[in-house]
Structure 1
Amino acid sequence: MTEGPMNIIARASGAAGKSDGEPLKFIHCSDLHLDSSLETKLSGEDARRRRYEIVRAFERIVRRAEEQHVTGIIIAGDMFDADIVTARTRETVLDIIRRTPAIDYLYLSGNHDSAERVFPLQGLPENLLTFRSHWQTYRYGNIDITGVEPDPQSSSNCFDTLSLDPNHVNIVMLHGQLSSQAGPDLIPLPALQHKGIDYLALGHLHSYRHGVLDERGIYCYCGCPEGRGFDECGEKGFVLLSVLGNHLEHTFVPHAQRMLFRIPTDIADCRTFPEILHKLRDTAAGIPPESLVRFILTGACAPDAQLDLPALEQEFASLFFYAEIRDETSVSIDPATFLGDISLKGEFIRKVLASKLPERDKNAVIRAGLQALGGEEITL
């Protein structure tokens, strides 16, 4: 076929052999960010293990695809975290694709990665299907999967040139942030309405969300399959698409091996170390031990509250794959209490409160000073 604005490539392998009444299935995933540096403060060994688990998340998706007899896996961008990846990761991905020739891999580059720069120019598996800077369609019977990688250097708006067969089920792949207008990494939603899209398969946002595109179709961010940092908390996974005739259904499938949790915990009513520890254990009840957890301590605490963060982290180190404690408490001090206090403690607190330090620094200085005055180990 000649290439043009709407190059259509027929793919018989996925549609062949499906009996009447049996749907074709596709998996929509994105934002694996393979080979990324992790944003949590894991030890070197745990960081390597976590990076390996994220690579294996792709293999587990493929295993689910085989179990579900999926025709194709739609990868809507940012499969890799950068254009330069380790040879081990690249060859692992290619090996997985080569070992599953019955599944097509429709790979659209994102703002972090590029198929042309990640993979060698020659010898790619036939079932690894990529996209270019003009619209390209892969056809499976009456199902068209169409995508484009907009050229950021081009002044033309490729979204206006999208033309789909209204009699087919149309899945359109894009990577970027939905917007009212076009721009770098922006997807102009109004330009895609009333085009005959049934399912707009998006990548870029790392949490699952979907909404109405127009009277015919929906848009959907599948999110990332594994969270990497505490800005990626909650359930992660992929979307399973099922197409029977002209009817398309989508289902979010939780898939993450480990989940991340941010747990705000008000400890204003706690003063001793055991009281704080028990409060944290209560708030963490029910969280799976394989999780990564960040406790965020909040509340106005007594100045001598026993906030020993390293000791608290050590208590939870054996309960979760990773745990850290963030202190966002304030110090509850009534200055009038110390007006007539002639002790060293009173003089110290008055001087700190009268200083020009930012309020958060005053809290830290008061707490550390009281620990020193009490003969305790200072924790900052």
Structure 2
Amino acid sequence: MKLLHTADWHIGRTLNGYSLLDEQENAFEQILDIAKEEHVDGIVIAGDIYDRAIPSTSAVTALDRMLKSINLDNHIPIYAISGNHDGAKRLNFGNEWMEESNFYLNTLLEESFKPIETEDAQIFMLPFFDPMDARVYYQKQGMDEDQVKSIRGIGEAMGLVISDMIKSFDPNKKHLLITHFTVAPSSEEEVELTSETTSKVGGLATLTINTFKDFDYVMLGHIHTRFASPSENIRYPGSPVKFNVKEAKIRTHGKGVDIVQISDSQITHTFKEISPKTDLQVIEEPWDTLTDPKFYKAQPIDKDWFAITVKDFDRSKHINVRAKLQEIYGTVVELDYENLKREQAQNTKQANLSELSPDTIVDQFFKTITGKDLSDEQKQLVDSIFVDLGKED
């Protein structure tokens, strides 16, 4: 059995106001070509299919065309789940009739316990969920109220879910899992959250590989680089498109998909690279260098997008910097100044708020005002609020 593993399409994403839809369409066409060339038995989309819970009309139209092309035009099965960016209930609409064409889509926790059965494997599809979803589900299953209340973090919730999945294991088949979470090698190690939120709130908190030790292979989504994969059999394929400057700076992180080959004796993966239609170039140079023809004529001007940081720029100069740079380079999606960054760093004693999780920011603010740390009950309340807010993003 051979599967193509992809994730984090984020259809409808923008980069500082610039639509990435053309880039996403181009990446999709390459993914479909790879699937056909490899003669895969299915395409796995491990969450964050859309970028927002309520996607734009153009995003819905684009994804509809992509899924039809895979499933109806080319008759390739789809195994997809929702991620934390997706609107689970909206995405779930119509999934019952989809299965008639081998389009499997799980967006709700209760759907994850029945595996998709193939000749070689059982495929369990676990969408993103938060501890509250687990509480509601297990309460409906008749769990004792005290046990339900003990499900506070994603660790406890995931432990229960996995233990119930194991009950359905067929010992004569491989056991595969598709899910959408941050997974680290161990609790002491942090996962690089390239292009994704650093939040540790609710279901976004880090799990470890030990949680999934009973599965033969785990196909993850959520982290946008394959180099964050915590082990050889628990892997992220990375997003198919660069979504921000941070990703663009890491030149070794080529975008692509994994081809997963399942046999009786082993499961292997091979990375297949995707070439960007419009690449994102990051340049950090002094103004004189940026405006020197010898320098900028060596750049892919009017072809790629540019994120430019001007070093040591004298802001007292009366010049429209963006207009001048766009005249030279074409599309400048981000403009910054190194000396301004340095001033901001010198004027603040606290960590950059963008690098802190929302619950940490609230905790710090509370302590600044009251002189006390949040209580456990208050932390749980804050956690629940941000989980709910995350569903609206």
Q: Using the alignment, how far apart are the partners of 1:323 and 1:149 within structure 2?
A: 33
Deviations 1:20-43 (A, max 9, x none): xxxx3211111111123x12343x
Q: Which residue of structure 2 lines up, in the alignment, with residue 159 of structure 1?
A: 162
Deviations 1:346-380 (A, max 9, x none): xxxxxxxxxxx97999xxxxxxxxxxxxxxxxxxx
- Say whether 1:40 aligns with 2:40: no
Aligned partner of 2:217: which letter?
Answer: Y
Deviation at 1:305, TM superposition (A): 11
TM-score by length of 2: 0.63
Contact 2:6 2:239 in 1 (8 A): yes
- Say whether 1:25 aligns with 2:25: no
Q: In the alignment, which of 233, 239, 244 is matched to residue 224 of structure 1? A: 239
Q: Using the alignment, how far apart are the partners of 2:229 and 2:300 within structure 1?
A: 30
Give unmatched runs, 5+ long, in structure 1: 1-23, 333-356, 362-380
Structure 1 segment 75-86 matched on structure 2, within 5 A = 75-85=45-55, 86=57
Contact 2:302 2:329 in 1 (8 A): no
Q: Which residue of structure 2 lines up, in the alignment, with residue 113 of structure 1?
A: 86
Deviation at 1:246, TM superposition (A): 2.3
Q: Which residue of structure 1 lines up, in the alignment, with residue 272 of structure 2?
A: 253
Q: Which residue of structure 2 lines up, in the alignment, with residue 204 of structure 1?
A: 222
Deviation at 1:289, TM superposition (A): 6.0
Going from structure 1 to structure 2, the CA distance change for 1:297 and 1:102 (only over 3 Å counts) comes to same
Q: Which residue of structure 1 lines up, in the alignment, with residue 291 of structure 2?
A: 277
- Say whether 1:236 aligns with 2:255: yes
Aligned partner of 1:278: which letter?
Answer: D
Aligned partner of 2:273: which letter?
Answer: P
Query: Secondary structure of the residue that 2:49 maps to in structure 1?
Result: coil
Structure 1 segment 296-375 matched on structure 2, within 5 A = 296-299=309-312, 308-317=321-330, 322=332, 324-329=334-339
Contact 2:3 2:259 in 1 (8 A): yes
Structure 1 segment 53-92 matched on structure 2, within 5 A = 53-85=23-55, 86=57, 87-92=60-65
Q: Which residue of structure 1 lines up, in the alignment, with residue 121 of structure 2?
A: 143
- Write 1 or 2 for the structure with the bigger share of helix: 2
TM-score by length of 1: 0.64
Contact 2:237 2:257 in 1 (8 A): yes
Going from structure 1 to structure 2, the CA distance change for 1:34 and 1:330 (only over 3 Å counts) comes to closer
Runs of 4 or more above 6 Å deviation: 300-307, 357-361
Q: Using the alignment, how far apart are the partners of 2:341 and 2:92 within structure 1?
A: 55
Q: Using the alignment, how far apart are the partners of 1:358 and 1:60 within structure 2?
A: 42
Q: Which residue of structure 2 lines up, in the alignment, with residue 17 of structure 1?
A: none
Q: Using the alignment, how far apart are the partners of 1:78 and 1:258 within structure 2?
A: 22
Deviation at 1:108, TM superposition (A): 0.9
Q: Which residue of structure 2 lines up, in the alignment, with residue 5 of structure 1?
A: none
Deviation at 1:182, TM superposition (A): 10
Give unmatched runs, 5+ long, in structure 2: 136-156, 188-199, 348-393
Q: Using the alignment, how far apart are the partners of 2:3 and 2:247 within structure 1?
A: 25
Deviations 1:254-277 (A, max 9, x none): 213333232323x3xx7xx4x442
Contact 1:150 1:158 in 2 (8 A): no
Deviation at 1:93, TM superposition (A): 3.4
Which deviates more, 322-331 or 107-116? 322-331
Query: Secondary structure of the residue that 2:245 maps to in structure 1?
Result: coil
Q: Which residue of structure 2 lines up, in the alignment, with residue 173 of structure 1?
A: 178
Aligned partner of 1:113: which letter?
Answer: D
The higher-RCO structure (CA 8 Å, 6+ apart) is 2
Contact 2:209 2:230 in 1 (8 A): no
Deviations 1:305-341 (A, max 9, x none): 9894431331111xxx555542223699xxxxxxxxx
Contact 2:77 2:102 in 1 (8 A): yes
Query: Secondary structure of the residue that 1:136 maps to in structure 2?
Result: coil
How many percent of aligned residue pairs carry the same amino acid?
21
Q: Which residue of structure 2 lines up, in the alignment, with residue 186 of structure 1?
A: 205
Aligned partner of 1:246: which letter?
Answer: S
Q: Using the alignment, how far apart are the partners of 1:245 and 1:305 within structure 2?
A: 69
Contact 2:181 2:207 in 1 (8 A): no
Q: Using the alignment, how far apart are the partners of 1:358 and 1:59 within structure 2?
A: 43
Q: Using the alignment, how far apart are the partners of 1:254 and 1:204 within structure 2?
A: 19
Equivalent pairs counted in the alignment come to 293
Which deviates more, 172-181 or 62-71? 172-181
